[in-house]
């Protein structure tokens, strides 16, 4: 985390509506780079990374959905991955040294990172995902690229993948042999771009005469929510944040007043949020100066069962013909519950984290309707997989890395 969070002037926040997405991104990123990256380079990183639309759709009354799934892998993680990959490429060129990026993924991070870095010079990528616990499409998107992208199937759950990666970063021997870096949401280069779209949502709402929305964030590792809190600390007007989870509800429990008590993750239909020990919790604490009460004032937690998630998908489709992926459905439901507990007129923005078509097997039975698969997805399903299986012990993983280098 940066030692100090830069605060942008009120004049910037009050006139967001005059700016494009990329202009907002530039102003928010600039203070973090100082002399290290010229304005010209930063602009080209931004223009290259964010080359797809970010619609904000009114679904019902004052409930908006910010569609973050129009990038190449159809999930919000494209924002972080594409921005970060272009920064790493700048750095590798400057240092003239190859970097190996290690990523533990429960699905969508891996595909976004794999795509973001694919064929980027000077960067090798190693993805670890839990065997049999990611969707077919997610696996195809990670394991068919090849080139500088290696996919490792781990015998275990997501938390095993994360443990292996964390251990690699603290292994002296390994760090002498290669330059390792992270691309998980603990990397500031991924976190920062996740603050841009919150500000963009505020700008789009300003155009409608709405200010200070409540943001509802479907959460697993809590990188996305941390991005929003970072924007708020930079001065962005936001009324409140909702931390919406599936039954992996460690953070909502904490927000209700209990201790933060990590535990093993459980499998749900919103599998990109099956995280039992969210890495970004410490960053959230840091942003609030470790004050539990300040955190609880600003964020309310909600958690839902798979049954409630399915019901929300069905109801929103039946009433508004709008399709929610299982993750987004959890956020949407939290928005509605927050409003009905307080005031239905409060404007809410739910972050839509994935395109519904990525979760057809969950959604189609609920809506009794087939979802059309865009051509760009069908391409992936036809490619040949090139992944390697490993166990969940560190020594095996380490040996693999050493042999490969």
Binding of residue 316 to ligand PLP (CB under 6 A)? no
Binding of residue 301 to ligand PLP (CB under 6 A)? no
Smallest distance from ligand PLP to CB 271, Å = 9
Q: Rounded CA gap, 217 and 273, in Å?
A: 11
From 168, 258, 182, select the one nearest 221 (Cα to Cα): 182
Smallest distance from ligand PLP to CB 142, Å = 13
Binding of residue 219 to ligand PLP (CB under 6 A)? yes
Q: What is the DSSP string of 335-377?
A: HHHHHHHS-TTS-EEEEE-B-GGGGHHHHHHHHTSPPPPPHHH
Smallest distance from ligand PLP to CB 219, Å = 4
Binding of residue 222 to ligand PLP (CB under 6 A)? yes
Contact at 8 Å (CB) between 265 and 158? yes
The residue range among 35-43, 87-95, 153-161, 220-228 that interacts with ligand PLP, by the rule CB under 6 A, is 220-228
Q: What is the DSSP letter of 74?
A: S
One residue of 133, 283, 327, 336 binding ligand PLP per CB under 6 A? 327
Binding of residue 190 to ligand PLP (CB under 6 A)? no
CA 312 to chain CA centroid, nearest Å = 22
Other Cβ atoms less than 10 A from the Cβ of 377: the count is: 18
Binding of residue 152 to ligand PLP (CB under 6 A)? no
Binding of residue 247 to ligand PLP (CB under 6 A)? no
Q: Rounded CA gap, 115 and 71, in Å?
A: 10
The residue range among 22-30, 117-125, 216-224, 309-317 that interacts with ligand PLP, by the rule CB under 6 A, is 216-224
Smallest distance from ligand PLP to CB 321, Å = 21
Binding of residue 252 to ligand PLP (CB under 6 A)? no
Phi, psi (rounded to 5 degrees) for 65: -120, 125
One residue of 104, 114, 123, 272 binding ligand PLP per CB under 6 A? 272
Binding to ligand PLP (CB under 6 A) within 100-119 occurs at 108-109
Token pair of 97 as six digits: 């040294």
The residue range among 51-59, 215-223, 233-241, 287-295 that interacts with ligand PLP, by the rule CB under 6 A, is 215-223
Contact at 8 Å (CB) between 358 and 65? no
Measured from the CB atom, the residue of 108 and 159 that comes closer to ligand PLP is: 108
Measured from the CB atom, the residue of 26 and 338 that comes closer to ligand PLP is: 338
Phi, psi (rounded to 5 degrees) for 60: -155, 125
Binding of residue 71 to ligand PLP (CB under 6 A)? no
Binding of residue 273 to ligand PLP (CB under 6 A)? yes
Q: How far is CA 314 from CA 19, 32, 322, 357, 363, in A?
A: 36, 43, 10, 15, 8
Q: Rounded CA gap, 222 and 248, in Å?
A: 12
Smallest distance from ligand PLP to CB 364, Å = 17
Q: Rounded CA gap, 122 and 105, in Å?
A: 22
149-154 and 180-182 beta bridge pairing: unpaired
Smallest distance from ligand PLP to CB 45, Å = 21
Token pair of 167 as six digits: 């251990």
Which residues does residue 245 pair with via DSSP β-bridges, in sequence order?
303
Q: What is the DSSP string of 82-107?
A: HHHHHHHHHHHHHHT--EEEEEE-SS
Measured from the CB atom, the residue of 106 and 348 that comes closer to ligand PLP is: 106
Binding of residue 283 to ligand PLP (CB under 6 A)? no
Binding of residue 62 to ligand PLP (CB under 6 A)? no
Q: x-or-dash pattern for ligand PLP, window 346-375, by CB under 6 A?
A: -------xx---------------------
Binding of residue 193 to ligand PLP (CB under 6 A)? no
Binding of residue 224 to ligand PLP (CB under 6 A)? yes
Measure the CA angle with vertex 311, ends 373 and 335; round to 5°: 95
One residue of 116, 156, 220, 301 binding ligand PLP per CB under 6 A? 220
Q: Rounded CA gap, 294 and 307, in Å?
A: 32
Residues that bind ligand PLP (CB under 6 A): 75, 77, 108-109, 185, 218-224, 272-273, 327, 353-354
């Amino acid at each position: 985390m940066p030692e100090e969070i830069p605060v942008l002037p009120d004049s910037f926040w009050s006139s967001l509506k005059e700016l494009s997405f990329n202009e907002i991104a530039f102003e928010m990123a600039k203070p973090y780079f100082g002399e290290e990256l010229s304005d010209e380079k930063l602009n080209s990183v931004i223009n290259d990374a964010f080359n797809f639309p970010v619609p904000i759709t009114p679904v019902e009354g004052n409930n908006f959905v910010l569609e973050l799934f129009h990038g190449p892998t159809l999930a919000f993680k494209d924002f972080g991955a594409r921005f970060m990959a272009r920064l790493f490429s700048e750095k590798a060129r400057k240092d003239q040294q190859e970097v190996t990026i290690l990523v533990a993924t429960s699905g969508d991070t891996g595909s976004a990172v794999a795509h973001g870095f694919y064929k980027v010079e000077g960067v090798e990528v190693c993805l670890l995902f839990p065997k049999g616990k990611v969707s077919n499409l997610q696996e195809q998107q990670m394991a068919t690229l090849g080139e500088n992208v290696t996919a490792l199937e781990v015998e275990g759950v997501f938390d095993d993948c994360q443990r292996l990666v964390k251990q690699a970063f603290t292994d002296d021997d390994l760090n002498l042999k290669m330059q390792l870096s992270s691309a998980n949401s603990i990397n500031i280069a991924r976190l920062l771009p996740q603050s841009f779209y919150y500000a963009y949502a505020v700008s789009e709402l300003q155009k409608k005469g709405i200010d200070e929305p409540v943001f509802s964030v479907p959460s697993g590792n809590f990188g996305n929510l941390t991005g929003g809190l970072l924007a708020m600390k930079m001065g962005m007007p936001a009324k409140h944040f909702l931390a919406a989870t599936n039954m992996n509800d460690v953070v909502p429990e904490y927000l209700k007043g209990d201790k933060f008590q990590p535990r093993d993750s459980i499998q749900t239909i919103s599998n990109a949020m099956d995280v039992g020990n969210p890495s970004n919790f410490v960053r959230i604490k840091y942003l609030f100066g470790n004050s539990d009460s300040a955190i609880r004032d600003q964020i309310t937690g909600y958690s839902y069962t798979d049954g409630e998630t399915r019901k929300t998908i069905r109801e929103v489709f039946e009433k508004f013909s709008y399709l929610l992926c299982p993750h987004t459905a959890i956020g949407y439901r939290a928005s509605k519950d927050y409003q009905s507990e307080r005031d239905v007129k409060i404007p809410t923005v739910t972050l839509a984290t994935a395109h519904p078509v990525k979760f057809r097997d969950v959604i189609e039975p609920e809506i009794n309707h087939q979802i059309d698969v865009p051509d760009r997805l069908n391409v992936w399903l036809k490619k040949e997989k090139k992944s390697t299986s490993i166990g969940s012990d560190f020594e095996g993983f380490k040996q693999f890395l050493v042999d490969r280098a």
